[in-house]
Amino acid sequence: MSDTKPLVILAAGGTGGHVFPAESLASELQKRGYRLALFTDKRGGNYSGVLGGLETKHISAGGVAGRGFFGKVISAFSLAWGTFQAKRLLNKMGPRVVVGFGGYASVPTMIAASLGGFASMIHEQNAVLGRANRLLAPKVKRICTSYQHVDFIGEVDAQKVNFTGMPVRQNVIEVRDQAYPVLDDTSAIEILVLGGSQGAQIFSDVLPEAFAKLPPELRSRLHITQQCRPEVLDQTREAYKRNGLNATLESFFNDVPDRLAKAHLLIARAGASTVAEATTVGRPAILVPYPYAIDDHQSRNAHAIDEVGGGWLMPQEAFKPEILADRLEALFSEPRTLVNTAAASLNAGRPDAASHLADAVEELIEV
């Protein structure tokens, strides 16, 4: 890695939704010869890939708003201490740009960057500006977004917005060119079910019964691949077996891109990474937003895909076996609908998101 180009610091931590785009940007900036460092919280010590190889500084971080009086006091102290730590390190390391990826792990570093006069930008993964990024938006020079329309960006901050898309892993991009699988009256129907990083209980509760309600000629063609929570794996497997359904169940798949490329239909939560991967590969999806997500951001993510015709938003309260079975029968009886939806999904994808995000970093360096 060249020492001739300036240092860029990435501030990320917490869930995969925050870490995946940081990983993608790090990979792209490394290709362009930039020096990189990662500022994260205490959970960020076991990253693999590019992030795992970066110089890493652990910064104290607390939630933006702790629970209860003592929670708020502890959170405020952690935030203040983390900001002090980050400011001291930034002054010592002298980065040209500091990039934050949302979540409370990024807040102290981004506040310190603002206080220290360093050029800074944030990336928002969802169609709703997260609470941490809402706090940071007035303090940064650029707000990069995964969606063209993002809620809670004010009029003043809207001038800073750069629609880059949501970066995905390279192995997802590599299967983008695989055509939508042929689906005719006799072919097997491949269904992929993903529930986020820990599975989704409702999919285990609803799907075996919903698939069992399909007409026998459709039911016999199904092959279901489903991610389940470990504690319900056996009972879900038994439910499929009891209904005579062909299903492959695991608590984790390490080859999701390949399975996604083979799928005729994805049934999933609507987290930022899942939606971005589905549209990068171009697969139609029934998206069931997690109803307790902060600010209901998964519903906004799903609505954005529904609007462009790349999938269907199905609220959890409507995710019932009878309703889902009717929807599936209609889709599988008219394959052209799935083919057209796959094309719309592919068109909505942003496989070059990491490159656009790196361009935004370089624009700040040149200012």
pLDDT in tens, 41-63: 876 557 878 999 999 999 998 66
Collapse the DSSP code of 337 into the 3-class scheme (helix H, G, I; strand E, B; otherwise coil) and give the result.
Answer: helix
> Which amino acid is residue 151, in one-letter code?
D
> Which amino acid is residue 86, in one-letter code?
A
- Name the residue among 359, 362, 365 with its Cα closest to residue 96: 365
pLDDT in tens, 304-329: 999 999 999 999 999 999 999 999 99
Rounded Cα distance between 137 and 120, Å, is: 10
What are the tokens at 206? 């609803």
Exposure of 254 by Cβ count < 10 A (0-12 exposed, 13-18 middle, 19+ buried)?
exposed
> Which amino acid is residue 176, in one-letter code?
R
For the entire predicted model, the pTM comes to: 0.92
Residue 67: the pLDDT is: 61
What are the tokens at 237? 């497997």
Residue 66: the pLDDT is: 53
State the chain's mean pLDDT as an integer.
93
Instruction: Please provide the size of the chain in residues.
Output: 367
How would residue 198 be classed by pLDDT, with cut points 50, 70 and 90?
Answer: low
Per the CB < 8 A criterion, the answer to whether 290 and 270 are in contact is yes
Which residues are CB-neighbours of 65 under 8 A, at least 6 positions away? Answer: 72, 75, 131
How many angstroms separate the Cα of 37 from the Cα of each of 346, 347, 348? 33, 34, 32
| Total Cβ atoms within 10 A of residue 209 | 15
Residue 157: the pLDDT is: 95
Residue pointed to by tokens 């496989």: 351
Per the CB < 8 A criterion, the answer to whether 190 and 280 are in contact is no
What strands, in cross-sheet order, belong to the sheet with 189-194?
247-250, 222-227, 189-194, 265-268, 285-287, 311-313
What are the tokens at 262? 């083979």
How would residue 4 be classed by pLDDT, with cut points 50, 70 and 90?
Answer: confident
pLDDT in tens, 158-183: 999 999 999 998 999 999 999 999 99
Residue 14: the pLDDT is: 74
Residue 128 pairs in a beta bridge with: 151
| Total Cβ atoms within 10 A of residue 198 | 12
Helix extents (H) in 225-271: 233-242, 256-262
Q: Domains of the chain (ranges plus CATH)?
A: 7-166+352-366 (3.40.50.2000), 173-348 (3.40.50.2000)
Rounded Cα distance between 63 and 71, Å, is: 9
How would residue 2 be classed by pLDDT, with cut points 50, 70 and 90?
Answer: very low
Helix (H) or strand (E) holding 265: strand 265-268
